[in-house]
A = this chain, B = another copy of it.
Amino acid sequence: MSMVQSVAFVGGTAGPWRVRSMRAIAGAPLASVSAVDVVPGNEVAVQVGAPWVLRGVTSHARYVTQGESATLRAVQAGLGRPEATHAAMLPISKSEAWWALAQDERRAIFEERSRHVAGTLRYLPAISRRLHHGRDLGEPFDFVTWFEHAPEHDALFDELLEMLRATEEWRYVVREIDVRLVREDGGPY
């Protein structure tokens, strides 16, 4: 069983996740849609009229150390929890300057200076996430991160994003879309 799993995010009018808001934080916006479907596998039957399909693969971790990895595994929660009816999808691209950095330089910005792991630990397990890599696939976004949390943690999630966006790492983000969603079968929201 490979760790590399392909996922397609289909923006259109169908799917279990209804869009609450879409906002371009940096760079060109994505076309507005009313729903997002999250479809595993490489062969996605694209919805007729779906304005966009973003693809990514779950893959091995690129920066975390053995110790950080063990800490994360002990604390984090998976996707699909019944109470986690709110989601956010964050497609992001970083600059060519970021990708031209050596591994030790990217690691130093990512963690030693931006505290990407250490700083986000206190948001776990309330907020769960899964990272999808699109850069090597020739996708328009380097990453799509999918977050899920219970509605009472909306403010906590906003705080997490505010913290991340203030980091040195985020200075390398050249395109970022912020899509907030609610699961249609998720209750009275």
- Do residues A6 and B138 form an inter-chain contact, with CB atoms below 8 A? yes
What is the number of residues of chain A that contact chain B, defined by CB distance less than 8 Å?
31
Name the distance in Å between A14's Cβ and chain B's nearest Cβ.
26
Name the distance in Å between A156's Cβ and chain B's nearest Cβ.
27
Number of chain copies forming the complex: 2
A63-B136 contact given A2-B96, A3-B96, A96-B3, CB 8 Å threshold:
no
- Do residues B62 and A136 form an inter-chain contact, with CB atoms below 8 A? no
**B residues less than 8 Å from A69 (CB atoms):** 102
- Do residues B3 and A99 form an inter-chain contact, with CB atoms below 8 A? yes
- Do residues B3 and A60 form an inter-chain contact, with CB atoms below 8 A? no
- Stretch of A22-30, A83-91, A103-111, A119-127 at the chain-chain interface: A103-111
- Do residues A60 and B4 form an inter-chain contact, with CB atoms below 8 A? no
Assess whether A75 is interfacial by the CB under 8 Å rule: no
- Do residues A42 and B99 form an inter-chain contact, with CB atoms below 8 A? no
Tell me the residues in window 1-45 of chain A with beta carbons closer than 8 Å to chain B beta carbons. Answer: 1-4, 6, 42
- Do residues B135 and A59 form an inter-chain contact, with CB atoms below 8 A? yes
Cα separation A96 to B4 with both chains bound (whole Å): 10
- Do residues A138 and B42 form an inter-chain contact, with CB atoms below 8 A? yes
Cα separation A175 to B57 with both chains bound (whole Å): 22
- Do residues B4 and A102 form an inter-chain contact, with CB atoms below 8 A? no
- Do residues A4 and B135 form an inter-chain contact, with CB atoms below 8 A? yes
Assess whether A137 is interfacial by the CB under 8 Å rule: yes
- Do residues A136 and B133 form an inter-chain contact, with CB atoms below 8 A? yes
Cα separation A107 to B105 with both chains bound (whole Å): 14
Q: Could you jot down 6 A-B contacts, CB within 8 Å?
A: A3-B100, A4-B138, A57-B138, A64-B102, A66-B104, A136-B136
